[in-house]
Amino acid sequence: MKSNPFSLTFGKHPEKYISRYENTDMILSTFSSENPLSHTYLIEGVRGSGKTVLMTTISQQLSAGKEWIIVDLNSTRGLMDDLAHRLYDSCSNIPKLLDKGFNVSIAGVGIGIGGSAGFQDSISIITKLLSAAKKKNKKILITIDEVMHSKDMREFASQFQIWLRQDFDIFLIMTGLYKNMNAIQNDPALTFLLRSPRIILKPLSIRQITSQYEEIFEIDEPSAMELAEITKGYALAFQALGTLYWEFGKETPLDSILKKLDDLLEDFAYKKIWESLSDVERDIIGCINTDKTKVLTIRNQLSMASGTFSKYRDNLVKSGILMPESHGYVSLALPRFYEVTRLF
């Protein structure tokens, strides 16, 4: 019996995956260039949009080349200490890259750097590792998933800029939500990130989803299109609906599958998305119970001025929750978001 080709595991590259070729090629070609136009990329999108999978795809492709060292950092830990340890672990596995006696203790200080005893802070350790890697023509890619605007992030980004000025071959990909990315880029201490390319993930192609569903489930194109349109191109929904349809098959009524889909979307993303919204944003979403809703209808229902509504609408659009339709109309960008959240 064939195994389910879809996956709901966070960040895992699923067997059936619709590649974002344009985004992937842009980053790969930039980082692999002799004179990169940028050493950083920010990948932004709503929860479940495929940010982590895209970043993982890029790091896997680069790691296949002998000149790259990939370092994945945990955004919830001290970034500088985490980088020192992980970079050291990666470098120590490369023959003849480190001098004999180079060592890093668990506490995050260096002992016997280059054969001499003494204290070294994380920045000193990382700088020495970057220098050693550059001598061996190695490039360093640092990835940070779901970044937050924090003191730790500010210190890391400021130091990263210094390493760039020191001409180290160091690169950075960060993923995050709109609100967090916006806060980081607008921090006056992190002006270089304001110039960093920012990739905003768009919905997956309905045509490509249709093609995959048609091939995998061996169903006709209209049936595959019906399933694809339910997902609205939302990466998590593509995987979740595929998982359920694989498990329950054509014999189960679609309404029953959709109820199970609602449960998965709630557990994996929608509950957290809903909790991150303000009361006013939730009220606006509560007024959109069809695919296309007139803005004036929402404003009248909430007794909201045009300028006030525009502010909230723009924020919800940039967050990947609302989609502007024809002039004067909006709709929900996320599939079955109203059906799930109306019970919250």
Per residue in 17-31, pLDDT tens?
788 999 999 999 999
Strand order in the sheet with 329-332: 293-294, 329-332, 322-324
Judge whether 55 lies within some domain. Answer: yes
Asked whether residue 28 falls in the same domain as residue 177, the answer is yes
User: What CATH number has the domain bearing residue 81?
Assistant: 3.40.50.300
Asked whether residue 322 falls in the same domain as residue 178, the answer is no
Residues 53 and 235: beta-carbon distance below 8 Å: yes
User: What CATH number has the domain bearing residue 320?
Assistant: 1.10.10.10
Q: What is the pLDDT of residue 106?
A: 46
Judge whether 51 lies within some domain. Answer: yes
Quote the Cα angle for 139-23-333, to 5°: 140
Asked whether residue 190 falls in the same domain as residue 302, the answer is no
Judge whether 112 lies within some domain. Answer: yes
Asked whether residue 195 falls in the same domain as residue 307, the answer is no
Taking the model in full, what pTM does it have? 0.90
Report the distance separating Cα 120 and Cα 108, nearest Å: 9
Residue 154's domain spans which residues? 21-200
Judge whether 88 lies within some domain. Answer: yes
Judge whether 4 lies within some domain. Answer: no
Q: What is the pLDDT of residue 112?
A: 43
How confident is the prediction for the chain on average, in pLDDT? 89
Report the distance separating Cα 172 and Cα 64, nearest Å: 17
Judge whether 220 lies within some domain. Answer: no
Last residue of a domain, one of 200, 229, 264: 200
Judge whether 261 lies within some domain. Answer: no
Q: Does residue 9 surpass a pLDDT of 70?
A: yes
Q: Cα(first)–Cα(last) distance of the chain, in Å?
A: 39
* Tokens of residue 30, six digits: 């930039």
Asked whether residue 47 falls in the same domain as residue 173, the answer is yes
Q: What is the pLDDT of residue 110?
A: 47
How many C-beta atoms lie closer than 10 Å to residue 245's C-beta? 20
Last residue of a domain, one of 170, 200, 230: 200
DSSP letter, residue 110: B
Report the distance separating Cα 20 and Cα 302, nearest Å: 39
Judge whether 318 lies within some domain. Answer: yes
Burial of 46 (0-12, 13-18, 19+ CB in 10 A): buried
Q: What is the pLDDT of residue 101?
A: 61
Q: What is the count of structural domains for the chain?
A: 2
Asked whether residue 327 falls in the same domain as residue 180, the answer is no
From the list 70, 48, 229, the residue with the least C-alpha distance to 146 is 48
45 pLDDT band, cuts 50/70/90, is very high
Last residue of a domain, one of 179, 200, 221: 200
Q: What percent of the chain has pLDDT over 70?
A: 92
Residues 331 and 323: beta-carbon distance below 8 Å: yes
Q: What is the pLDDT of residue 53?
A: 92
